[in-house]
Amino acid sequence: MTGLTAKGAATRDRIVRAATDLILDRGVGGMTLDDIRAGTATSKSQLFHYFPGGKSDLVSAIAAFQSSRVLEAQRPWIDHLDTWESWQGWRDAVVDHYRGLTHKYCSITALVNEVAPADPQLAADVAGHADRWCELLAAGLRRMRAGGLLRADAEPDRLALAMFATLQGGLLVMQAKDSIEPLEVALDGALVMLRAYAA
């Protein structure tokens, strides 16, 4: 949102941060704007001032914030991923991040699943954050292949999608079982799959 004063930007950021935790705890469907107003100590007029599209605008802002938070937790590893050691460091950073969360809805994919039927445009916006995450994995694999660490016949985009899909599956089972182990096992398996393409 452009044109905000420093104070206005800080207020909007406060609302997004608080609403993110509320929605990740209860899910998009389990939250009304009244719940969000109460949880963020925000008036109705103030909420619509910063999010004129209502819940749709707010969920879009939450997805952007959560995406940046998740990616930041994976740094510096995700910005490189050009050695086997960096992939192991990335795996450990992902596990450490999700081990520390208490949210029921811990992934951007969970938001996509909830908003897709009712708001396709919002779903596309939210899914875009997941696409950017997957592209960072693919970029690392391209560097691995260019550096001779992956076989010439390795397909970075397909391998990245397999890695990302495995990660998301691990998150869903982690959520269902309330245990970090499914995510650990999923990522370990993904790295074994990746090493099968080592040069």
Per-residue pLDDT tens, the chain, 199 aa: give them.
Answer: 556 788 888 888 888 888 887 777 776 666 777 888 888 788 888 888 888 887 778 888 888 888 898 999 999 999 999 999 999 999 999 999 999 877 655 556 666 666 666 777 877 877 888 899 999 999 999 999 999 999 999 999 999 999 999 998 998 898 888 899 999 999 999 999 999 999 9
Q: What is the pTM of this model?
A: 0.82
Parse the chain into domains and list their residue ranges.
6-195
Give the pLDDT score at 112. Answer: 61
Give the pLDDT score at 1. Answer: 56
Give the pLDDT score at 103. Answer: 66
Give the pLDDT score at 153. Answer: 96
- Render the chain in DSSP notation, one character per residue: --S--HHHHHHHHHHHHHHHHHHHHH-STT--HHHHHHHHT--HHHHHHH-TTTHHHHHHHHHHHHHHHHHHHTTTGGGT--SHHHHHHHHHHHHHHHHT---SS-SHHHHHHHHTTT-HHHHHHHHHHHHHHHHHHHHHHHHHHHTTSB-TT--HHHHHHHHHHHHHHHHHHHHHHT-SHHHHHHHHHHHHHHHTTB-
Q: Give me the amino acid identity at 166.
A: T
CATH value of 6-195 in 3.40.1030.10, 1.10.357.10, 3.40.630.30, 1.20.1090.10: 1.10.357.10
Give the pLDDT score at 196. Answer: 97
